[in-house]
């Protein structure tokens, strides 16, 4: 069973997460020539960050208008949404750039892309486990202050009970 199949409150299946990420675009395809400031507003990234993403190869080629201004498409918005998710996983920028390179190289890189994402998934699962442990400590301390637990109550992270009322 994957972590997405567990009954964790507020966690959706992978399909639900992807479907919810596919929010309607502000403009239909073909009429989607967004300026950098529009994409900055829509993505929450600064124009500087968008230019940097393009410069380091994290963004695919961005079209330009006849005056040389960047014109982003709905597909670019979708890519930026994926990059945002990868950032949340803690994937290093170099890993994201490598993933982008692999995507540009085509289907023959599926195995390498899969391996990169599987490694990232394992990192995320470790972080989730750490956060669950941290949450249990917080829950314990909240209970101590809520219920006025005795000094003999042992906290979940220590065998000794000396820190129960810390």
Find the CATH number of the domain harbouring 39.
Answer: 1.10.1660.10
Provide the pLDDT for residue 26: 86
For strand 70-71 and strand 63-64, is the pairing parallel, antiparallel, or unpaired? Answer: antiparallel
Residue after which a domain boundary falls, among 62, 90, 118: 90
146 CB contacts (<8 Å, ≥6 apart)? none
How many independent structural domains does the chain possess?
Answer: 2
pLDDT attached to residue 97 = 98
Record the tokens describing residue 127, joined without a space. Answer: 């972080």
As a whole number of angstroms, the distance between CA 31 and CA 29 comes to: 5
C-alpha 137 chain-centroid distance:
25
- pLDDT tens digits, one per residue of 92-106: 999 999 999 999 999
Burial category of 63 from C-beta neighbours within 10 Å (exposed 0-12, middle 13-18, buried 19 and up): exposed
pTM as predicted: 0.73
Residue 141 has pLDDT above 60, yes or no: yes
Does the pLDDT at position 151 exceed 80? no
Q: What is the pLDDT of residues 88-140, one digit of tens each?
A: 999 999 999 999 999 999 999 999 999 999 999 999 999 999 999 999 999 99
Same domain, 8 and 86: yes
Domain range for 73 = 3-90
């Amino acid at each position: 069973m994957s972590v997405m199949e567990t009954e964790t409150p507020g966690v959706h299946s992978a399909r639900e997460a992807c479907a919810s990420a596919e929010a309607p675009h502000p403009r239909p395809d073909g009429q989607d020539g967004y300026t950098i400031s529009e994409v900055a507003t829509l993505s929450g990234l600064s124009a500087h960050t968008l230019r940097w993403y393009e410069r380091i190869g994290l963004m695919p080629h961005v079209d330009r208008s006849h005056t040389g201004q960047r014109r982003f498409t709905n597909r670019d918005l979708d890519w930026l949404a994926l990059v945002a998710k990868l950032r949340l996983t803690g994937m290093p920028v170099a890993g994201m750039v490598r993933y982008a390179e692999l995507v540009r190289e085509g289907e023959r890189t599926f195995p390498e892309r899969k391996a990169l994402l599987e490694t990232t998934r394992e990192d995320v699962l470790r972080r989730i486990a750490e956060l669950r442990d941290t949450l249990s400590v917080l829950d314990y301390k909240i209970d101590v202050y809520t219920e006025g637990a005795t000094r003999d109550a042992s906290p979940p992270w220590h065998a000794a009970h000396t820190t129960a009322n810390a």
